[in-house]
């Protein structure tokens, strides 16, 4: 059998399903695909390469040494328990949860930014937060050109970032409001339909939320700039898919908006849509279901001599999660780390 034995943990979820479809669409060299999820989803089938693949119940005995690679999207508690089990068998793990992101020695990787962080010895690899991924794809090319001095970001994050239950909650609230019925929030702390909630995750003692501090700390780690000043305000908005971000940066060197536009247009994974006079700029509806990080509204920050402001939009379930994980797997393959360890199957 040619190719590698690949597993997806949390295969029945929204991100897990996208991992499966992206592995197929990008023709990752899968020789055998195994799918794992909770007992509730065990026995369901997903199609891969024209064949049905049955979801197995995840247990401590699920992993075998012949598995080459596991993509995890099952939550931090599952990752903390099962990722070390897989690594102990010599299996590469790309984990989509927050469990390992800030652990010393664990690579936190966006392939367009820091693929050099990968190594054959680091078997557990962290996939960054969705809002961080799209921002650093836009920040890094500017950083290379003119060096960042400060980053200010406000996010407008889709409900799908909180999972399938959050999507259903917004849809149910819309129906309730149309029918004149009372709205009772459960997933979110307040009504999300026709509303904005300036809270994602729990508040910390410093007044920021966990989501906001993820953006601060993960950006620094990915870009190798541990003291980079970053401040974030993260807001949940009544959009189904695709996060949007308003970003303002201060640079060490002056950079005109036109030059920044050209730099970003050449950046890997980035597409510039920036003709505001014609009503062309990135929006969630256009980004949903697509792989790129879209950047527009690129302009000089009038309050700072070396400042730029711009708008970033990307599908949080694809580039913000599943696609980035598969791209990490592709890097492992391209660098020979998978084949040198296993030789393929």
CATH number of residue 236's parent domain: 3.30.360.10
Residue 173, both tokens: 């609230």
Q: Specify the pLDDT at position 2.
A: 76
CA distance 64 to 15: 23
Partners of residue 154 on adjacent β-strands: 233, 246
Domain assignment present for 44: yes
Active site residue 130: yes
Across 314-343, average pLDDT: 91
343 has pLDDT over 80: no
pLDDT per position as a tens digit, 17-74: 999 999 999 999 999 999 999 999 999 999 999 999 999 999 999 999 999 999 999 9
CA distance 144 to 249: 13
Residue 95, both tokens: 């984990």
Residues 66 and 174 in one domain: no
Range of the domain at 39: 4-99+321-342
234 to 16, 152, 160, 275: CA distances (angstroms): 24, 11, 15, 26
1 has pLDDT over 80: no
Residues 245 and 137 in one domain: yes
CA distance 39 to 74: 13
Which one, of 88, 95, 46, lies nearest residue 74 by Cα?
A: 95
CA distance 130 to 96: 9
Domain assignment present for 265: yes
CA distance 228 to 233: 17
Residues 80 and 226 in one domain: no
Q: Specify the pLDDT at position 339.
A: 77
Residues 251 and 188 in one domain: yes
Domain assignment present for 80: yes
Q: Specify the pLDDT at position 289.
A: 97
Domain count within the chain: 2
Q: Provide the 3-class DSSP secondary structure of residue 302.
A: coil
Active site residue 243: yes
Q: Residue 33's domain is classified under what CATH number?
A: 3.40.50.720
Domain assignment present for 283: yes
Which residues does 57 contact at the CB level (< 8 Å), separation at least 6? 36, 37, 38, 39, 42
- Residue 340 pLDDT grade (very low, low, confident, very high; cuts 50, 70, 90): low
Residues 213 and 274 in one domain: yes
Partners of residue 148 on adjacent β-strands: 251
Phi-psi region of 147 (alpha: psi -120 to 50; beta: other; left: phi over 0): left
Across 210-219, average pLDDT: 98
14-25 and 323-334 helices, crossing angle to 10° = 40
Residue 103 contacts residue 133 (beta carbons within 8 Å): no
- Alpha-helical segments (H) within the chain: 14-25, 76-88, 130-146, 164-178, 210-223, 257-266, 284-287, 323-334, 337-342
- Residue 342 pLDDT grade (very low, low, confident, very high; cuts 50, 70, 90): low
Domain assignment present for 124: no
Q: Specify the pLDDT at position 344.
A: 45
Backbone torsions φ then ψ of 300, nearest 5 degrees: -70, 140
Across 305-312, average pLDDT: 98
Across 93-117, average pLDDT: 98
Number of neighbours of residue 339 by Cβ within 10 angstroms: 15
Which one, of 117, 344, 122, lies nearest residue 222 by Cα?
A: 117
Choosing from 137, 234, 243, 331, the catalytic residue is: 243
pTM of the model: 0.96
Residues 183 and 75 in one domain: no
Residues 292 and 331 in one domain: no
Domain assignment present for 151: yes
What are the counts of helices (DSSP H) followed by strands (DSSP E) for the chain? 9, 13
Residues 303 and 337 in one domain: no
Residues 286 and 242 in one domain: yes
Residues 59 and 155 in one domain: no
Across 254-259, average pLDDT: 97
Across 313-341, average pLDDT: 94
Q: Specify the pLDDT at position 253.
A: 95
Beginning with the edge strand found earlier in the chain, give each strand of the sheet holding 293-300 in spatial order. Answer: 230-236, 148-157, 243-251, 307-314, 293-300, 270-272
Strand 148-157, strand 243-251: pairing = antiparallel
Domain assignment present for 110: no
Q: Specify the pLDDT at position 345.
A: 44
Residues 22 and 58 in one domain: yes
Choosing from 130, 137, 234, 331, the catalytic residue is: 130
Domain assignment present for 119: no
79 has pLDDT over 70: yes
Mean pLDDT over the full length of the chain:
96
The DSSP call for residue 98 is: S
Residues 182 and 239 in one domain: yes
């Amino acid at each position: 059998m040619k190719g590698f034995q690949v597993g997806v943990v949390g295969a029945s979820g929204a991100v897990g399903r996208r991992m499966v479809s992206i592995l197929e669409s990008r023709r990752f060299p899968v020789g055998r695909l195994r799918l794992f999820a909770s007992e509730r989803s065990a026995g369901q089938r997903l199609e891969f390469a024209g064949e049905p693949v049955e979801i197995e119940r995840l247990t401590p005995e699920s992993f075998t040494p012949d598995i080459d690679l596991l993509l995890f999207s099952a939550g931090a508690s599952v990752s903390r328990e099962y990722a070390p089990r897989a690594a102990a068998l010599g299996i590469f793990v790309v984990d989509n949860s927050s469990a390992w992101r800030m652990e010393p020695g664990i690579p936190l990787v966006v392939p367009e930014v820091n693929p050099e962080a990968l190594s054959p010895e680091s078997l557990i690899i962290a996939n960054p937060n969705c809002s961080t991924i799209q921002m650093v794809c836009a920040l890094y090319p500017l950083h290379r050109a003119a060096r960042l001095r400060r980053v200010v970001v406000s996010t407008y994050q889709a409900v799908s970032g909180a999972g399938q239950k959050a999507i259903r909650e917004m849809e149910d609230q819309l129906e309730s409001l149309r029918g004149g019925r009372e709205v009772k929030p459960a997933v979110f702390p307040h009504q999300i339909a026709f509303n904005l909630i300036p809270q994602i995750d729990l508040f910390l003692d410093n007044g920021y939320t966990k989501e906001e501090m993820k953006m601060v700390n993960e950006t620094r780690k990915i870009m190798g700039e541990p003291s980079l000043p970053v401040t974030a305000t993260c807001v949940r908005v009544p959009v189904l898919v695709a996060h949007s971000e308003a970003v303002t940066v201060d640079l060490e060197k002056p950079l005109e908006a036109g030059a920044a536009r050209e730099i970003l247009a050449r950046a890997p994974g980035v597409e510039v849509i920036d003709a505001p006079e014609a009503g062309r700029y990135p929006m969630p509806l256009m980004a949903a279901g697509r792989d790129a990080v879209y950047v527009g509204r690129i302009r000089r920050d009038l309050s700072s001599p070396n400042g730029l402001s711009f708008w970033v939009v990307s599908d949080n379930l694809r580039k913000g999660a599943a696609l980035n994980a598969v791209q990490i797997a592709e890097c492992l393959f391209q660098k020979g780390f998978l084949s040198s360890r296993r030789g393929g199957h």
